[in-house]
């Protein structure tokens, strides 16, 4: 297990048996032979684990041979249960005593989840989380959802067995930048440094990192609505082909590029004025490309370019002509450097 990788992407669920002298772990509950065993004689246990400061449910066992093993429980109570019994077993071995408790056999949930795939499922227009408008404290939050909605969606779609497990995944999505806090309540929780950075609450608001989220609030100087993302001057607009993230199909979208703050909003040209989404360009990289994954499948060829946001989200676009592609690339590069 690589401590440098993304914990929720790299690790898998295991079934664990605590015996009097070791910790055995199995791929499945019904397996007769363990995948491995960690001897507890001379071992040390650390909880919470400082190797993953943003993942408070992780604990570390260092064997006598200085090998590190990391585990993550589903919730705090389960972590404490394991930590207490493993420490007791280690203490008994040090004192030459026998661990009195019968072998403990329980499931530690270490979800083998690709967070990128989970994020795309959450954004699916048909089966994902619905982005809505919510009003709080004289402010209107557009394209957002509540923390409780995220938790309930994960459980109802089989991504988690219970609310504590759903919270583990939600925290992972936040740590990777896929989910962002929208209101003061969720922002304070995310920045507090406490164990739970994601709130399972109907009043805590969040949004997708590459959505069309914006907040409208009443100005202190005049009674008007101020849309944060739409404050910038329009420096370019027009239609481009855009590749979808989920199905990889290509559709014509109207794009409006603004600076300070630097955003590209895209719209369905046949519908109303509400954007389908937005691309935050601060720190983004844009380059011309000659090949796009799955492009041949849909006969898309030529005048292609790619935008990679600071959150490493990739957008593939196609202009009508080579000259138009150059103009878009130049305009986006200027906006990404000057806008906030």
Using the Cα atoms of residue 148, residue 194, residue 158 and residue 294 in order, give the sign of their dihedral: positive
Over range 158-162, report the average pLDDT. Answer: 88
- For the stretch 129-144, pLDDT in tens is 999 988 887 788 888 9
Contact 304, 295 (CB under 8 A): yes
Closest by CA to 29, choosing from 41, 18, 13, is 13
pLDDT grade for 68, boundaries at 50, 70 and 90 = confident
**% the chain with pLDDT above 70:** 79
Contact 178, 152 (CB under 8 A): no
Alpha helices in the chain (DSSP H): 7-10, 76-94, 115-123, 147-156, 163-175, 184-191, 322-338
pLDDT grade for 312, boundaries at 50, 70 and 90 = confident
Structure pTM? Answer: 0.39
Q: Would you state the pLDDT for residue 102?
A: 41
The CA R_g of the chain, rounded to the nearest whole Å, is 24
How much is the mean pLDDT over the chain? 79
10/29: higher pLDDT: 29
Structure tokens at 44: 């040390």
Closest by CA to 180, choosing from 119, 267, 271, 138, is 119
Alpha helices in 124-231 (DSSP H): 147-156, 163-175, 184-191
């Amino acid at each position: 297990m690589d401590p440098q990788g993304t914990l929720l992407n790299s690790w898998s669920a295991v079934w664990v048996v605590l015996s009097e002298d070791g910790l055995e772990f199995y791929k499945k509950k019904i397996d007769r032979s363990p995948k491995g065993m960690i001897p507890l004689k001379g071992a040390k246990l650390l909880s919470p684990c400082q190797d993953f400061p943003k993942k408070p449910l992780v604990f570390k066992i260092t064997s006598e041979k200085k090998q590190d093993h990391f585990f993550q429980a589903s919730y705090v109570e389960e972590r404490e249960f394991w930590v207490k019994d493993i420490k007791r077993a280690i203490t008994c071995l040090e004192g030459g005593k026998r661990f009195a408790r019968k072998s403990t056999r329980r499931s530690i949930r270490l979800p083998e989840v690709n967070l990128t795939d989970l994020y795309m499922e959450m954004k699916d227009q048909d089966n994902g989380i619905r982005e809505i408008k919510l009003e709080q404290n004289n402010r209107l939050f557009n394209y957002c959802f509540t923390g409780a909605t995220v938790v309930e969606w994960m459980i109802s779609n089989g991504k988690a067995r219970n609310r504590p497990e759903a919270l583990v995944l939600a925290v992972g999505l936040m740590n990777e930048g896929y989910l962002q806090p929208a209101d003061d309540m969720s922002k304070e929780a995310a920045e507090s440094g406490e164990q739970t950075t994601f709130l399972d609450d109907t009043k805590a608001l969040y949004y997708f990192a590459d959505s069309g989220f914006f907040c409208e609030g009443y100005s202190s100087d005049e009674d008007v609505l101020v849309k944060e993302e739409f404050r910038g001057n329009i420096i370019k607009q027009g239609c481009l082909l855009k590749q979808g993230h989920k199905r990889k199909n290509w559709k014509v979208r109207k794009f409006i590029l603004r600076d300070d703050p630097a955003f590209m909003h895209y719209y369905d040209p046949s519908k109303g004025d509400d954007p389908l989404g937005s691309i935050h360009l601060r720190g983004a990289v844009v380059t011309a490309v000659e090949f796009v994954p799955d492009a041949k499948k849909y006969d898309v060829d030529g005048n292609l370019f790619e935008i990679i946001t600071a959150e490493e989200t990739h957008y593939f676009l196609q202009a009508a002509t080579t000259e138009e592609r150059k103009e878009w690339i130049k305009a986006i590069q200027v906006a990404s450097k000057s806008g906030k």
